[in-house]
Amino acid sequence: MKKKQLKWSVSLILILSMTAGLVSFNNDQRNFEIVKNLDIFYTLFRELNSYYVDEIDPGKLIKTGIDDMLESLDPYTTYIPESELEDFKFMTTGEYAGIGAVITKLGDYVAISEPYEGFPAQKAGLKAGDKIIQIDGKDVKGKTTKQVSEMLKGPANTKVELKIERPGVKKPLNIEITREKIQINPVPWYGMVDNETGYIVLNNFTQGCSRNVKDAFTDLRDKQGAKKIIFDLRGNPGGLLDEAVKIANLFLPSGTEVVSTRGKVKQWDKVYKANRQPVDTVMPLVVLVSRGSASASEIVSGALQDMDRAVLIGQRTFGKGLVQTTRNLAYNAKLKVTTAKYYIPSGRCIQAVDYSHRNEDGSVGLVPDSLIREFKTKNGRPVYDGGGISPDIKVKQKKYGNITYALVMQQMFFNYATDFTLKHPSIPPVNDFTVTDDIFNDFKQYVLAQKDFKYESKTQEMFDEMKETAQKEGYYDAAKEQFGELQKMLKLDVNKDLDMFSDEIKELLGIEIVKRYYYQKGAIQFGLKDDPELEEAKKLFSDMNEYYGLLNGTIPSHAGDRRSMKN
Residue 136, CA distances (Å) to 127, 141, 148, 246, 503 in order: 19, 14, 11, 43, 44
In sequence order, which ranges of 104-255 are alpha helices (DSSP H)?
120-123, 145-152, 209-222, 241-249
Dihedral, 331, 63, 295, 314 alpha carbons, nearest 10: 150
The Cα 449–Cα 419 span in angstroms is: 14
Is there a contact between 114 and 92 (Cβ–Cβ < 8 Å)?
Answer: no
Strand partners, 566: none
For residues 388 and 352, the answer to whether their CB atoms sit within 8 Å is yes
List beta partners, residue 79.
335
**Residue 455 burial by Cβ neighbours in a 10 Å radius (0-12, 13-18, 19+):** middle
Residue 523 and residue 428 in contact, taking contact as beta carbons nearer than 8 Å: no
Query: What's the chain's length in residues?
Result: 567
Note whether 233 and 300 are within 8 A (CB): yes
- Least Cα distance to 98 among 161, 149, 174 occurs for 149
Helices 412-423 and 402-409 pack at an angle, to 10 degrees, of: 60
Residue 261 pairs in a beta bridge with: 270, 342
By annotation, the residues acting in catalysis are 295, 306, 320
Strands 257-263 and 270-273, bridge-based pairing: antiparallel
Question: DSSP readout, 141-176?
Answer: TT--HHHHHHHH--STT-EEEEEEE-TT-SS-EEEE
Rounded CA separation 233/199 (Å)? 11
Q: How far apart are CA 460 and CA 466, in angstroms?
A: 10
